[in-house]
Chains A and B, each alone.
Chain A
Amino acid sequence: DIQMTQAPSSVSASVGNKVTITCRASQGIGTWLAWYQQRPGQAPKLLIYAASTLQSGVSSRFSGSGSGTDFTLTISSLQPEDFATYYCQQANIFPWTFGQGTKVEIK
Chain B
Amino acid sequence: EVQLLESGGGLVQPGGSLRLSCAASGFTFSSYAMSWVRQAPGKGLEWVSITDGNGDKTFYADSVKGRFTISRDNSKNTLYLHMNSLRAEDTAVYYCAKTNSLSEQLAINLDHWGQGALVTVSS
Contact = CB atoms under 8 A, between A and B. Distances in A.
B45 interface: yes
A24 B36 CA distance: 23
A46 B107 CA distance: 13
Given A43-B115, A101-B44, A95 B107 contact: no
A77 to B, nearest CB: 25
Interface residues of B, number: 24
Q: Is the interface of A mostly helix, strand, loop or mixed?
A: loop
A104 to B, nearest CB: 15
A95 B115 contact: no
Contacts of B59: 94-95
B11 interface: no
Contacts of B115: 42-43
30 contacts: A34-B108, A34-B110, A36-B45, A36-B110, A42-B115, A43-B113, A43-B115, A44-B110, A44-B113, A45-B113, A46-B111, A49-B108, A49-B111, A50-B108, A55-B109, A87-B44, A89-B45, A91-B108, A94-B50, A94-B59, A95-B47, A95-B59, A96-B50, A97-B47, A98-B44, A98-B45, A98-B46, A98-B47, A99-B44, A100-B44
Pairs A-B, 10 closest by C-beta atoms: A49-B109, A43-B113, A94-B59, A96-B47, A34-B109, A98-B45, A101-B44, A95-B61, A91-B108, A46-B111
Interface of A: 1, 32, 34, 36, 38, 42-46, 49-50, 55, 85, 87, 89, 91, 94-101
Interface of B: 35, 37, 44-47, 50, 59-62, 95, 100, 104, 107-116
